[in-house]
Amino acid sequence: MFSSPRSSLLRPTRFPILTLDESRLTPALGYLFNKKWIEPYESLVSILWKFEKANALPGHVVARLMGADIDPYEGVVPQFGLIDLRRLHDTLAVPIKTLRLALVQPTHRRRYSSVFRHCHSCMLDGYHSVLHQVESVAVCPAHRRPLEESCRRCGYEAPYLINIRLLESPYRCAHCRASYGGQRWSPDHARPMKAEARKSITRRYFDLHLG
């Protein structure tokens, strides 16, 4: 008489949600990401936070998406010329132009802060703009609120450097894990930026780059 172990009947078969190609450190069976989640002039930090949260990826995997030779622990400044845009494009299926606009591009006319700066109201919607890093921009164009450079709880100033520490603290202080803006972004609760805020961000960007 044939009988199978009782435990095998009670235990459901489990399949991984996401399998990684270890040779490339990119998703092998697909991933979840919608380019419509990206708002105008959103920073690469913000884009990668959304990608990470949507796929429950560890920080070291996300960090390596920016370049095969990037040390996930040391990290890299999200600056044009230092990031492998083609590699990111192939993984996220986001236009290279969008990714280029998500990077700081220092010139003799514009200086960028080396400290992560954010708007508390933008953080509520899971948004951080490359404009927030421009030193001459002291107020968020979308909300007219002063930009913050330190954690309200512990005073920590995070370097504007994409590494494991920053990636694994989405919308939070990398030191004490206090939230930068209340409710954090998630794919299930993603909501588009208000039209007036989009216009304000776009107008400020063009004023800085074309004015």
Q: Which pLDDT does position 32 carry in this prediction?
A: 85
- Residue 178 domain-assigned (yes or no): yes
- Residue 20 domain-assigned (yes or no): no
Boundaries of domain holding 163:
34-205
pLDDT in tens, 158-194: 999 999 999 999 999 999 999 998 667 888 888 889 9
- Residue 39 domain-assigned (yes or no): yes
- Residue 192 domain-assigned (yes or no): yes
Domain count, the chain: 1
Q: Please, are residues 159 and 113 in contact by the beta-carbon 8 Å criterion?
A: no
Q: Please, are residues 49 and 126 in contact by the beta-carbon 8 Å criterion?
A: yes
Nearest to 68 by CA among 54, 80, 84, 90: 84
Q: Please, are residues 55 and 66 in contact by the beta-carbon 8 Å criterion?
A: no
Distance CA 67, CA 80 (A): 13
- Residue 179 domain-assigned (yes or no): yes
